[in-house]
Amino acid sequence: MIYDSPMIAVIGLGYVGLPLAVEFGKARPVVGFDINQARIAELDSGKDSTLEVSSNELANAKQLRFSCDLADLKSCDIFIVTVPTPVDQANRPDMTPLVKASQTVGQSLKAGAIVIYESTVYPGATEEVCVPVLEKFSGMKFNQDFFCGYSPERINPGDKVNTLTTIKKITSGSTPEVAKVVDDLYRSIIKAGTWQASSIKVAEAAKVIENSQRDLNIAFVNELSVIFERMGIDTLEVLEAAGSKWNFLPFRPGMVGGHCIGVDPYYLTHKAEELGYHPQVILAGRRINDDMARYAARGIIKRMLQGGIDVARSTVGVLGVTFKENCPDIRNSKVADLVRELEAWNAKVVVMDPWADAAEVKHEYGIELGQISANQKVDALVVAVGHHQFRDLSTNDLKSYCHWEHTPVFGDLKCLYDRHALTSNGFNVFRL
């Protein structure tokens, strides 16, 4: 079970798996495995389209090799699974990627192997869902022939300060001995140290509540935004005033997308409902956050109508489509919901994003990326993502993008600009 120099396989080379494989690959042999052949070819060429790992970092991982060949997994001793855990259209957990990854690993297990999962799941999922698959496809017995661990990912896409090695890592194992092996393994690369949980289920629960807590805090300020809009009060001014107290939490309203915060709470609520409890607070927060894109779109449309703009003959420019700033990640982007709602009012919508891959946006959301400029003017301009390219725009830049036959509406959904400066320059401003 314990190897002096184990061969590690990292299954899934996305935002989570690649940084992990690179860090381990600096000091020990690692197989970075992904079923996407184009992804393997890209990484072999020294490039990472997620921008999480630089070409220099890839080159420095001397003991890392990439593969989509199952045969290359046969020599591995420790398997780390980092595939996504999405939800379906009914917001039910979709365990398909995790089950398929477990099938792949199960076919490659040898006696004494350890399988560590990093994917966010509900408490109990590793042992209830993944372990039976591993047993079936390996023909071996859990905690006798092979073992498991759970160490939830804490990757923050696009963040170059809080990176893999600088964030404390939760670890756990299916036996006390395995828990120590898993903890020692991660401790060898995580500068911030580790937190060894008492069980896999505790580690799973800790991860899922991290994002649920953040989701609820954002839902609270989103609801405040809706209330203060009706009162004619600027939400940001209220939050800044309240923030003068030392223990006031600095959350901001916004559209909650991405692969974690907008998804993970549904894993916890799913398990709770299976156990006969209907979560109220968590689901209430989810409803509020899931509705914010539609709320923002309707707030912008309302101001356009009030300003005499013929919405059906108008063009609305949207700056940004990724789920967060300075990052190419478009997973679960709520900007797509914003665009669909604007289009439902028959407005023509032009979306521009210097960070997003146009082909990926087209494939995932059916949205064609375009250009907004002084030569491609719009009737309303919505800044949906806080990329630095948009933060650097002056009021005059923003004005040059708009038609002025009617007062243009400016949707500052990220509160990037001085509201009073925008208003004094003629914009009809909406922000969350």
Which residues are identified as catalytic?
A: 260
Return the amino acid letter for 413: L
Alpha carbon 418 to its chain centroid, in Å, reads 28
- Cα(110)–Cα(299) distance, integer angstroms: 58
Q: What is the DSSP string of 20-57?
A: HHHHHHTTS-EEEE-S-HHHHHHHHTT--TTSSS-HHH
Question: Which ranges of 26-64 would DSSP assign to H, the alpha helix?
Answer: 37-44, 55-60
Please choose, from the candidates 362, 358, 359, 384, the residue with its C-alpha nearest in 3D space to the C-alpha of residue 371: 358
CB 138 within 8 A of CB 76: no
- DSSP per-residue codes, 360-417: HHHHHH-PPB---BTTB-BSEEEE-S--HHHHT--HHHHHHTB--SSPPEEEETT--S
CA distance 245 to 387: 29
- 241 alpha carbon, distance to own chain's centre: 30
DSSP state, 316?
Answer: E
Those residues whose C-beta lies under 8 Å from the C-beta of residue 197, and which sit 6 or more positions away, are 170, 171, 172, 203, 206
Tokens (6 digits) for 340: 């669909």
Residue ranges with strand state E in 118-260? 147-150, 169-171, 194-196
Residue among 46, 52, 61 nearest 8 (CA): 61
C-alpha to C-alpha distance for 343 and 345, rounded to whole angstroms: 5
